[in-house]
Amino acid sequence: DVTADMAVIASKGSKTVRTFREQEERKNAQEKHWELAGSKLGNLMGIKEKVEEDQTANVDYKESQKFASHMQDTEAVSEFAMEKSIKQQREYLPVFAVRQKMLNVIRDNNVVVIVGETGSGKTTQLTQYLLEEGYGRNGMIGCTQPRRVAAMSVAKRVADEMGVELGQECGYAIRFEDCTSDKTAIKYMTDGILLRECLGDPDLDQYAAIIMDEAHERSLNTDVLFGLLRDVVARRTDLKLIVTSATMDAEKFANFFGGHTPTFEIPGRTFPVEIYHARTPVDDYVDAAVKQAVRIHLGGLDGDILIFMPGQEDIEVTCELIKQQLSQLEESPPLAVLPIYSQLPSDLQAKIFQRAPGGMRKCVVATNIAETSLTLDGILFVVDPGYCKLKVFNPKIGMDALQIFPISQASANQRSGRAGRTGPGQCYRLYTERQFKDEMLIATVPEIQRTNLSNVVLLLKSLHVDDLLKFHFMDPPPQDNMLNSMYQLWTLGALDNTGRLTELGRKMVEFPLDPTLSKMLIMAEQMKCSSEVLTIVSMLSVPSIFFRPKGREEDSDARKEKFQVPESDHLTYLNVYVQWQKHKYSTKWCTDNFVHAKAMRKVREVRSQLKDIMDSLKTEEISSGTDWDIVRKCICSAYFHNAGRLKGIGEYVNVRTGIPCFLHPTSALFGMGYTPDYVVYHELIMTAKEYMQSVTAVDAAWLAELGPMFYSVKESIKTHREKLQDSIRTTASMEAEMREAQKEILER
Ligand code: CDP
Ligand code: MG
């Protein structure tokens, strides 16, 4: 049976790639990205050239032993070892000592910038102080977070402190999940949520106070909110706006809101942290971090360990390796190894805050989230490989990609600071002092200057910010970025030639989705397959549907194979959902088929929320029945800019740019003996190769019909160069038209 054989090959392939990918991702990070930081990000900041290899770092890990003897039985350590009541814990926080003074400043000013070390109590206490002080009478107290995990976990903590049920007096809202009620007085939310709320409520009238937390992170949404809220506070004198930051560059925030904005500093309570740099550049940071953690654990000193890793895969490998190494030792003290990253289920996330059973030492392995967003008590050792994942617009592929980059000096210092919260600590940097000084940027480039802005452009346009180049940004995005994003929106039909929002664009804004996905949903009504596309879009909004437990790889791959629709990953997702629906949304069915039940329930929830929005737009849910070809065409209508043409087995090239892109071995199209001439894809992931993620086979004629600005039927005659020139010409003429329109408006 040929198909069965193919299936085995496909599953074997995917296994190798997985390990290969892990290795490659790490290697890439080390070799390429130092360089990239110097060139790509560095160009933006005007950083120096990369310097030759470090020979001079003079600190050795062994020196840490000298410091060791000071560390036993510090007062602070023993104090924290005691269990305290919630009230005592709250009153122990640095912010409590200045409570009244701070509230006086807030009373006398509409905008206040508050600076305090991580862990001083800004996020958990400020909202409660404002509520206690009576600000809740005129509306909610909102607090924005750049990260979903932080919004959820902090809301939970504050609900506990208030002694209420989460979602009642204190709740949170993140995309596709609203855990608030009529009673909610304190609302934590992602900055993206507040940004969307501006659409329906430009003055944010339901809030009496807004805390923009973690402003130093400079997330894209926070930066846009800055510009919008600056006008809101000018209109609403009854609104309190508080901007908090963990770093000292708060002056910049204060200046942005005008000369009178005061900065209030929460006096810190920090302990010294000894910093050790690697003597020579490290080859494999996961390996080095694991060794360092084990060394600390066996070193005989008390205190929890915090290891930073760029992403989920590295975190999982690190946890696994630490456990493995310790289990190989004859006698090792117990260690609770705990991962934390955004896709981790929330019950597991909560674990990092709990005391480990029997007073066991904790070793938390975290993404950047532990840098400032979440405070862990009891950390005395930090292991910092010096990398993080950043979303960066990649001009080569014409879209954003998550890539591993070296962190900035500011981040490195924040990370080491995490060791000195409850007692004197130690930080092990897995990079040389020379790398720190010469190759790391002073501060991370704000997201607004390095990512695709189409979402922001769409949002601002619908808020009637017509001239985006004049919008009050704290740090304006590069003009090229802005024009690029506008061009993308124009190709999708969301903007007209003069840069104004079209009817389609106006509809697209209503969906909390990327413009491509909203476009697909809206097109689906015309193409009479909105029911199917609604499911596909919902499936794309959760991270992973299939699971592949250790030891049962073959079983799970075989099950997955059964769902696969050979022409399309999107239709494969649809198929999974349809089957699940047929089995009455059963959890058992999920488990039997190696499908994440929780993820599927989330999909169902997302689907019903998107359905509500469709209803409000009077968009009908129509099923195409058994005709899934029309669904593929609809997918093509949104993704035509990401089209690939067949070049070899499993190998495609982007039709517009000529960049090679590959089928991932986990794709439904991989190794099925069926190789369509043209495909479109959801995104490219850059690991060992440029892999296309979520791929669908399309007809060449559809591309010409749906993406006429890029393709024509005769297109094969044109050379790549000609096509590039075409696209430059289109952009240029669009810019010229926009300038004309602008002039007209001014002259009127
Ligand atoms: O925002 P900031 O970094 O200034 O501090 P915070 O997040 O308000 O943290 C204050 C205290 O609350 C710390 O001691 C945390 O450990 C604790 N906390 C907690 O126990 N559980 C959470 N989910 C969040 C904070
Ligand atoms: Mg905080």
Region of poorest pLDDT, from 291-295, 504-508, 559-563, 729-733:
729-733
Measured CA to CA, the distance from residue 62 to residue 375 in angstroms comes to 29
pLDDT digits (tens, 9 = 90+) for 286-343: 999 999 999 999 998 999 999 999 999 899 999 999 999 999 988 889 999 999 998 8
Residue 21 — pLDDT band, cuts 50, 70, 90?
very low
Whether pLDDT at 481 is above 50: yes
**Measuring from atom 20 of ligand 1, which residue has the nearest CA?**
353
Region of poorest pLDDT, from 186-190, 511-515, 544-548:
544-548
Strands (E), 395-547: 399-406, 425-429
> pTM to 2 decimals?
0.81
Of residues 40 and 285, which shows the higher confidence score? Answer: 285
Q: Is the CB of 80 under 6 A from ligand 1?
A: no
pLDDT for the residue numbered 462: 92
Residue 83 — pLDDT band, cuts 50, 70, 90?
low
Reading the block at residue 640, the tokens are 């035509």
Region of poorest pLDDT, from 105-119, 579-593, 703-717:
703-717
Of residues 699 and 71, which shows the higher confidence score? Answer: 699
Residue 43 — pLDDT band, cuts 50, 70, 90?
very low
Q: Which residue, among 202, 148, 158, has the nearest Cα to 184 in the 3D structure?
A: 158
Q: For the chain, count helices (H), then strands (E).
A: 29, 21
378: which residues sit within 8 A by CB, 6+ positions away?
A: 80, 303, 304, 362, 422
Of residues 678 and 548, which shows the higher confidence score? Answer: 678
What is the arithmetic mean of pLDDT over 670-688?
84
Reading the block at residue 735, the tokens are 């810019």
Ligand nearest to the CA of 116: 1
pLDDT digits (tens, 9 = 90+) for 365-399: 999 999 988 888 899 999 999 999 998 877 666 67
Whether pLDDT at 25 is above 80: no
What is the arithmetic mean of pLDDT over 132-145?
96
Tell me which of 79, 86, 122, 124 to substitute to probe ligand 1's pocket, judged by most ligand atoms within 8 Å of the beta carbon.
Answer: 124
What residue has token string 């960049």? 659
> Which atom of ligand 1 lies closest to the CA of 117?
4
Q: How far is the CA of 150 from the centre of ligand 2 (A)?
A: 8
pLDDT for the residue numbered 733: 72
The residues whose Cβ lies within 5 A of ligand 2, an ion, are 122-123
pLDDT digits (tens, 9 = 90+) for 44-75: 333 222 222 222 222 333 333 223 323 333 33
**Measuring from atom 19 of ligand 1, which residue has the nearest CA?**
157
> Which atom of ligand 1 lies closest to the CA of 374?
7
Residue 685 — pLDDT band, cuts 50, 70, 90?
confident
> Which atom of ligand 1 lies closest to the CA of 376?
16
What is the arithmetic mean of pLDDT over 182-209?
96
**Measuring from atom 17 of ligand 1, which residue has the nearest CA?**
375
Whether pLDDT at 622 is above 80: yes
Q: Are 565 and 572 in contact (CB under 8 A)?
A: yes
Q: Is the CB of 377 under 6 A from ligand 1?
A: yes
Torsion of CA 416, 263, 250, 148, to 10 degrees: 70
Whether pLDDT at 533 is above 50: yes
Region of poorest pLDDT, from 16-30, 242-256, 519-533:
16-30
Residue 356 — pLDDT band, cuts 50, 70, 90?
confident
Tell me which of 157, 349, 351 to substitute to probe ligand 1's pocket, judged by most ligand atoms within 8 Å of the beta carbon.
Answer: 157
Q: Is the CB of 122 under 6 A from ligand 1?
A: yes
Strands 170-174 and 177-179: antiparallel
Residue 671 — pLDDT band, cuts 50, 70, 90?
confident
Q: How far is the CA of 124 from the centre of ligand 2 (A)?
A: 7
Ligand nearest to the CA of 154: 1
427-438 in b/e burial notation, b at 16+ Cβ within 10 A? Answer: bbbbbbbbbbeb
Q: Is the CB of 142 under 6 A from ligand 1?
A: no
Residue 721 — pLDDT band, cuts 50, 70, 90?
low
Ligand nearest to the CA of 422: 1
Of residues 731 and 554, which shows the higher confidence score? Answer: 554
Average pLDDT, rounded, for the chain: 85
Cross-strand partners of 275: 427
Whether pLDDT at 700 is above 90: yes
pLDDT for the residue numbered 125: 98
Residue 289: other Cβ atoms inside 10 A: 25
Q: How far is the CA of 578 from the centre of ligand 2 (A)?
A: 42
Residue 167, phi-psi category: left (phi > 0), alpha (psi -120 to 50), beta (remainder):
left
Whether pLDDT at 133 is above 90: yes
Q: How far is the CA of 190 from the centre of ligand 2 (A)?
A: 13
Q: How far is the CA of 512 from the centre of ligand 2 (A)?
A: 26
What is the arithmetic mean of pLDDT over 491-518?
94
Residue 722 — pLDDT band, cuts 50, 70, 90?
low
Q: How far apart are the first and last CA of the chain?
A: 74
Ligand nearest to the CA of 266: 1
Of residues 175 and 729, which shows the higher confidence score? Answer: 175
Q: How far is the CA of 404 from the centre of ligand 1 (A)?
A: 28
Of residues 537 and 717, which shows the higher confidence score? Answer: 537
**Measuring from atom 21 of ligand 1, which residue has the nearest CA?**
157
DSSP codes of every residue in 304-354: EEEEE-SSHHHHHHHHHHHHHHHHHSSS---EEEEEE-TTS-HHHHHGGGS
Q: How far is the CA of 541 from the centre of ligand 2 (A)?
A: 27
Q: Is the CB of 153 under 6 A from ligand 1?
A: yes
Whether pLDDT at 8 is above 60: no
Of residues 70 and 208, which shows the higher confidence score? Answer: 208
Ligand nearest to the CA of 414: 1
Q: Is the CB of 485 under 6 A from ligand 1?
A: no
DSSP codes of every residue in 706-744: H-TTT--TTGGGS-HHHHHHHHHHHHHHHHHHHHHHHHH
pLDDT for the residue numbered 248: 64
The DSSP symbol for 368 reads G
Measured CA to CA, the distance from residue 550 to residue 623 in angstroms comes to 38
Whether pLDDT at 250 is above 70: yes
Q: CA–CA distance from 374 to each of 101, 122, 139, 270 (Å)?
A: 25, 11, 27, 16
SS3 label, residue 568:
strand
Ligand nearest to the CA of 354: 1
Q: How far is the CA of 243 from the centre of ligand 2 (A)?
A: 11
> Which atom of ligand 1 lies closest to the CA of 95?
4
Q: Is the CB of 414 under 6 A from ligand 1?
A: no
What is the arithmetic mean of pLDDT over 682-703?
89
Residue 220 — pLDDT band, cuts 50, 70, 90?
very high
Q: Is the CB of 370 under 6 A from ligand 1?
A: no
Tell me which of 113, 244, 349, 375 to substitute to probe ligand 1's pocket, judged by most ligand atoms within 8 Å of the beta carbon.
Answer: 375
